Amino acid sequence: MDLGLGGNYSKSILVVTYSMALLINVFLAPMVEELYFRGYLLPRMKGKYAIVFHSFLFAAIHVFTPWMIVARTIGFLPIIFGTTKKKIYVGMIVHMLCNATGVVTGFIYISKML
């Protein structure tokens, strides 16, 4: 997957692109996903395997994340808080931090470009 860091784009174009990625991928997408999955869908799922099925659905939309094992492992923390404490903000924060790693890595690379 080409993230634009191969040298084909100017530094200013990459800064604008990664600024938009910061806004969308780090703030907007995690909030929408957590509100839907933990705030709407999870409370409506019933049964013995509801949490497992919920985790599978959440993982299915994140198939292409490079840190799949870490994301799936810490993905149970928001589920626990969502089901026991009825708080989805923990999931939002964890999700935002996971998404921020890729964007921050891109900004670091851009800052080192000549």
Domain coverage including residue 96: 11-111
Residues 44-97: tens digit of each pLDDT: 988 888 887 887 888 777 777 666 656 665 666 666 666 666 778 887 888 888
Mean residue pLDDT across the chain: 78
3-state DSSP assignment of residue 74: helix
Considering the domain boundaries, does residue 6 fall inside one?
no
| Measured distance CA(55)–CA(57) in Å, rounded | 5
Taking the model in full, what pTM does it have?
Answer: 0.71
Considering the domain boundaries, does residue 91 fall inside one?
yes
Considering the domain boundaries, does residue 56 fall inside one?
yes
Largest CA distance in the chain: 56
Considering the domain boundaries, does residue 5 fall inside one?
no
Domain count for the chain, please give it: 1
Residue 57, both tokens = 């659905």
